[in-house]
């Protein structure tokens, strides 16, 4: 018995036009926003979409994803372009991400809180 599975993915820049898809910093461009959509999948429903960032020389933007989820679920406070993390105020996403890069303990603590919140919600919906 032969089982042939195929998954077709459509990849593109997040935001579409060039100026909005790169991650600008004071020193230059450090990454790229990517949108991936499942076009064909034999195992699960297609047309699922994922958006994430890739940093040049590093890979996936783990800190940016944690920062975005933490804002979404109320772990940290975001007002305009300012972020309040552990009682410290950061102006801009890049500054907040750099703080998380330098402070692994705080990043791990945020990830644990997010996992607890998301997994408890998932268990409650079953």
Q: Do 47 and 21 share a domain, yes or no? A: yes
Q: How many domains does the chain have?
A: 2
Angle between helix 104-125 and 62-72 (nearest 10): 50
Q: Do 27 and 48 share a domain, yes or no? A: yes
pLDDT tens column, 53-73? 888 888 888 898 999 999 999
Domain of residue 36: give its range: 1-60
Does the predicted model carry a pTM greater than 0.75?
no
**Domain boundary pick from 32, 60, 88:** 60
**Domain boundary pick from 36, 60, 84:** 60
Residues 107 and 100 sit within 8 Å (Cβ to Cβ) = yes
pLDDT tens column, 97-116? 889 999 999 999 999 999 99
């Amino acid at each position: 018995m032969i089982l042939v599975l195929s998954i077709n993915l459509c990849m593109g820049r997040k935001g579409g036009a060039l100026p909005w898809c790169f991650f600008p910093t004071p020193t230059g461009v450090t990454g790229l926003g990517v949108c991936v959509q499942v076009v064909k999948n034999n195992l699960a429903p297609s047309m699922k979409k994922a958006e994430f960032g890739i940093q040049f020389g590093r890979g996936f933007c783990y800190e940016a994803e944690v920062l975005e989820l933490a804002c979404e679920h109320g772990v940290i406070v975001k007002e305009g372009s300012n972020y309040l993390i552990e009682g410290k105020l950061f102006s801009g996403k890049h500054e907040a991400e750099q703080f998380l890069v330098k402070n692994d303990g705080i990043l791990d603590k945020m990830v644990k809180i997010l996992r607890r919140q998301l997994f408890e919600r998932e268990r409650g919906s079953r």
